[in-house]
Chains A and B, each alone.
Chain A
């Protein structure tokens, strides 16, 4: 069964700092990868996704992620964070042929300070 690890549970940054959140998955086959965000009091929404092709994917609000197959990683990045990026971020994976079962990591709580 697939699993997802997010190494940073809590991250605190100042505005304009760069962000990188780690995500590793364990599965040897073909995967589909996602980053979701949950802003305070709001529902979970998709930031970006990777199915195939260019391993560098761009999402909403200036976020991007890079799929590195050899490292089983899909780290989320943003060059300059804003106070409004304060939220909880979840990495998730589905396995091709696995019935679209979406498995999440434990989440990273990001706080951006002014």
Chain B
């Protein structure tokens, strides 16, 4: 099936540990995105990438890092510098320019 796969669905980590969230797409989309969803705040853009080996900071990039070594993959690392990492993380992809974004099922990260 074509789509976006995020894994795992639920993730628990201890405070101070880095954690990497996986996002893979087989839609042949050029652009990929990471959003964070918190109750009452909608979706806020963390990082996005228009092409391989290139990415830009979104509105809330501090404490996060990404890589785009392959077109299909856009992993997000939540570092220990992120002050409030517990959240629901959504990955999306789109054909670059004027196109709808397709979303994965999300990863719920809990840091204890």
Contact = CB atoms under 8 A, between A and B. Distances in A.
Given A100-B50, A100-B97, A101-B48, A43 B41 contact: no
Contacts of B33: 102
Interface string B38-68: 0011111100101000001010000000000
B25 to A, nearest CB: 13
B40 to A, nearest CB: 6
Contacts of A43: 103-106
A14 interface: no
Contact of B98 (A32, A36, A101, A106): A32
Nearest to A4: B42
Nearest to B43: A104
A104 B99 CA distance: 15
Given A100-B31, A104-B42, A46 B100 contact: yes
Chain B, interface size category, equals 20 to 34
Given A9-B40, A99-B56, A45 B103 contact: yes
Given A32-B98, A100-B96, A101-B48, A90 B106 contact: no
Interface string A1-34: 0000010010000000000000000000000101
Interface of A: 6, 9, 32, 34, 36, 43-46, 49, 51, 90, 92, 94, 96, 99-107
Interface of B: 31, 33, 35, 40-45, 48, 50, 56, 58, 90, 92, 94, 96-101, 103-106
